Amino acid sequence: MSSAPAPRSNTGGAADADGAATGRLEGAGPDERAETVSPAYGAAAGSGEVVHIVGARPNFVKAAPVVAALDARGVRQSVVHTGQHYDDRMSAVFFRELGLPRPDVDLGVGSGSHAEQTAALMTGLEQEFIARSPELVVVYGDVNSTLAAGVVAAKLHTPVAHVEAGLRSFDWSMPEEVNRRLTDQLSDLCFATSPEAVGHLAAEGVAVDRVHLVGNPMIDTLLGNLDRFDTAALRERLDLPDSYVAATLHRPANVDDPEVVARLVARLHEVADQIDVVMPVHPRGRAALTAAGLAEHPRMHLLEPLGYIDFVTLVRASAAVVTDSGGVQEETTILRVPCLTLRPNTERPITITHGSNRLVVDSELPGLVSKILAGESFGAGAIADVPPLWDGHAGERIAAVLADWLSGAPAGANRGA
């Protein structure tokens, strides 16, 4: 995999795997081509600035080591926070704890339907990109902010780098699957966290010189903060039991349908019959879970959303985790905490083959927790060495590729003529 791929064609269309430009009129002359692109698009030379787009708590954890590594190399950069997650407990606390620079811009988009939110994100980001004329836009993960930034940058002919490229659940009912697939097709640089992600990108026709296996920057953040995960202090401060299962649920498939929520709450209560359950309640599912009586069990401990340090400390001290979060699957793989993922699929299968993660349905929860508490095998893959390159240096590898790319990218590369 090359460290400095050539930027895509600047004819106004993305290049295919062979470098041939697509998306323009055959035989169109210069004047005709100019009519297909607004004069505001691609008119300015690149500023040399790298702009990071973050919008939700998983983005912050992944961006922190990349921003730090680029700063060590003296790369000029800025952080644009879209405001997709806007509550202090879901956003600002992460910047404080992870040492991320205060965002240069906070678009304050807030919540809404997928269409409403993505439209507002695209409008705000277009204004920012036109004003800043960045040399490169870096996006993270698979939230709506990621796709919105990729689309806007591509239409402005600004190069895009996608951190955490190539993950696939093959479940098109998940908005995240749509976001990550489209973002990868729009990206000039695809940074993969695991070998199977590289294979997915190759199968989808992404040119090999755009793909880089770099490891997982989320693990950089985890390993860099190990000495801050003080489990005894957290237990005392939050008045937690000595032994508990940690739970976190927010995906639509688990918290939107009242019938599904009622069944899931009943299963969590069955788990609580065996061991205390501590659950920071995500705003995404709070109303439905409350209406289903989640708190109506003496051993259910419901918390407000936690910051990064407190949440990972909670996971580290738990007997097991029940979750539908992709990032938590990765964190438990490193922390070696049994993880029961309430999903029919995962875009992170490496957490099953290299960790202690297992995909489950709600009816399995009580029995599997019982096995875990008894020290029995609960059917996860054999715990192996940590996944390749999950060593705390992914941010540095990403920064090295970006620095090489920037040094070789002509001003205004990938912009309209």
Q: Are residues 44 and 161 in the same domain?
A: yes
Is there a domain that residue 5 lies in?
A: no
- Residue 303, classed as helix, strand or coil, is strand
C-alpha torsion 314→347→400→137, nearest 10: -100
Q: Are residues 349 and 233 in the same domain?
A: yes
Range of the domain at 212: 30-216+391-408
Q: Are residues 140 and 255 in the same domain?
A: no
Decide if 85 is catalytic.
no
Q: Are residues 276 and 333 in the same domain?
A: yes
- pTM (2 d.p.): 0.85
Q: Single out the residue of 327, 334, 319 nearest to residue 368, CA to CA.
A: 319
Q: How big is the CA angle at 217 (ends 252 and 54), to the nearest 5 degrees?
A: 55
Is there a domain that residue 127 lies in?
A: yes
Is there a domain that residue 257 lies in?
A: yes
**Contact (CB, 8 A) for 153 and 186:** yes
Is there a domain that residue 10 lies in?
A: no
Q: Structural domain tally of the chain?
A: 2
Is there a domain that residue 415 lies in?
A: no
Q: Single out the residue of 3, 23, 17, 344 nearest to residue 203, CA to CA.
A: 17
Query: How confident is the model over 275-327, as pLDDT tens digits?
Result: 999 999 988 789 999 999 999 999 999 999 999 999 999 999 999 999 999 99
Query: How confident is the model over 120-162, as pLDDT tens digits?
Result: 999 999 999 999 999 999 999 999 999 999 999 999 999 999 9
Q: What is the CATH number of the domain that holds 347?
A: 3.40.50.2000
Number of helices and strands in the chain (H, E) = 17, 13
- Residue 226, pLDDT above cutoff 50: yes
**Percent of residues, the chain, with pLDDT higher than 70:** 84
Q: Are residues 177 and 250 in the same domain?
A: no
Q: Are residues 46 and 145 in the same domain?
A: yes
Q: Retrieve residue 389's tokens.
A: 């390159």
Q: Are residues 285 and 172 in the same domain?
A: no
- pLDDT of amino acid 24: 28
Is there a domain that residue 169 lies in?
A: yes
- Residue 52, pLDDT above cutoff 90: yes
Is there a domain that residue 322 lies in?
A: yes
Is there a domain that residue 380 lies in?
A: no
Q: Which element (helix H / strand E) includes 291?
A: helix 286-291
Q: Are residues 57 and 105 in the same domain?
A: yes
Q: Of 250, 282, 354, 393, which one is the catalytic site residue? A: 250
CA distance 323 to 342: 6
Q: Are residues 149 and 37 in the same domain?
A: yes
- 381 pLDDT band (50/70/90 cuts)? low
Query: How confident is the model over 277-289, as pLDDT tens digits?
Result: 999 998 878 999 9
